[in-house]
Structure 1
């Protein structure tokens, strides 16, 4: 499992980005399956990481902000702990991100994890090392020392999370690149935001992208971090092939959440725009689990919490009843009725507003909840308005749709709570 940090759907080559250099991921995608509509319903690092680990919504696993760690009782039902109990040799390298690191470390056979790292570089002068290189070394050491039994390796990158400090060799790839401007990075888009979002940390950070050079600098560095991560993935695949393990290995690449990079003049996550909730998902199946999937199934609504039951399913391990996600193997084989909508939820903390919503195959309805007063609402027709520029919530023409979506939102939140 390769997990990026703050990598949105459209920032890798295999989803259509023609600027970023991700040759190893692109090659893996040609062998695997790319799910074009994968989402993080609670787009904040700890919340989404806990959903990946547990297969549950935030309302169930309890990680609702940076200040609410994954409880020890819940840790025991995460997919790596369940796999270790079934004889898998398990390892984690990189950002754990859900708290209780000491307890978590004891649940792995190999642990090179951290809660957060404020910098990419450690050491000085000749000993200076980039985190991507450090993680590469840990990966190769893990693979070299795997005993003769099945293994699970979770590689959680910091990239391309801030600070935007790529390795020089990857920064050089983008020195002469010009990234196209963001269509919604306008004053009009900022004015159209719900009042709660206009005065947030995100809006203050997004205003810096009024400066074209600042936007170009940050985007070049962001893409360079993605390329550095891709190189580590390439070296991992090469090591798997050299060790004769590649054919029988399930490989998954995804991100914890997306990121707004100037859209709606915002920079950040924890809001319900597509750039924040939509994430890449690439899955390369082992030989024994290969399926020929109807391409239309790869366009269904998939959630990050589907990964835990998928991994357990492919490993032949019983999926616990408490898991709310659904194995993607049932989607690929056409053996289960698949979702056509899902709830969105974020919980208030010191920086981020509470919000809730629903996304269907066509519509998105969102409520931002102030501590006092009425919800600040949005309604978007994603088919006609993919950039979410036209809020239809006050249009009489769509009143029935708005009412129906609000009812279904509450039903889903109650169902998955």
Structure 2
């Protein structure tokens, strides 16, 4: 096969065979296809799309590009939760330890920021010494010992996705349903959880701007998960305005700690508690909604939820004192209060605009600036 012929084929609206997709991913992973050709291919996919079979083949090829942990063969149930990304979205930081504190193992491989949306890995790395790059052995050891692991993309697990993820971020090819779906699901299949909850965002601060686009993406990922034997459920939630009151790596982690202590902003706290309860229901840990809600409330009130976050931070080399005392987390060296020119009410907040502003501020100040949004209750 010739890469340029496959680029031309997709450019002209053709469909890739399963063999062609496998060939492309294998050769790109091993460095036989240069980034400039793969960038052209990504743009062709962005413009021409992929059908359900192509998307599934792409997902499986990326999942097979490295090791596969198959954690559900060693621990069951083991869950994963993934958000498609948004502005101020610190939900995973709270939901993962909350579910683990309720007695369900959480094995998560998460990603970095993409475009104007922040990444869970970047937020976790606000903690001094925290290691997100884990070997297969360390991943499984921490999961066994602590019932939770929060790892980043590794060279061993779905390496094709790691390369494509970075390339999409700089080639204007982020907002493509087949590419988003295959990227997310390849990581999930490589880890091999038994249950997956997807939080698919729509609105100003999300990649999917309309609820119709979000439904298409949700359906694509649910179809991939079910075809692979992964119990997959998708929730579609709004990202028309930022979640909570903080935008920025360290202060979003601090806000997640507040959520785990029961002191977080109402909007993001309610979403976290709801998604944690949904995972307890999916796995059968809770028999009904009332029992799931009670388990979540007990984990918050007893302190078990924030203790579990402290535990996994320490297990992965991080400074647990920064979870116990969030004021020890890094903070921006320059802080400026912007005051409203007149009194009034906040009618709406442009999530995408604030996400882009946060990126610009970070670039201007060596990535040490964050935004804190104060919204009257």
> So what's the TM-score if we normalise by structure 1?
0.31
Give the helix-richer structure, 1 or 2. Answer: 2
Give the strand-richer structure, 1 or 2. Answer: 1
> So what's the TM-score if we normalise by structure 2?
0.33
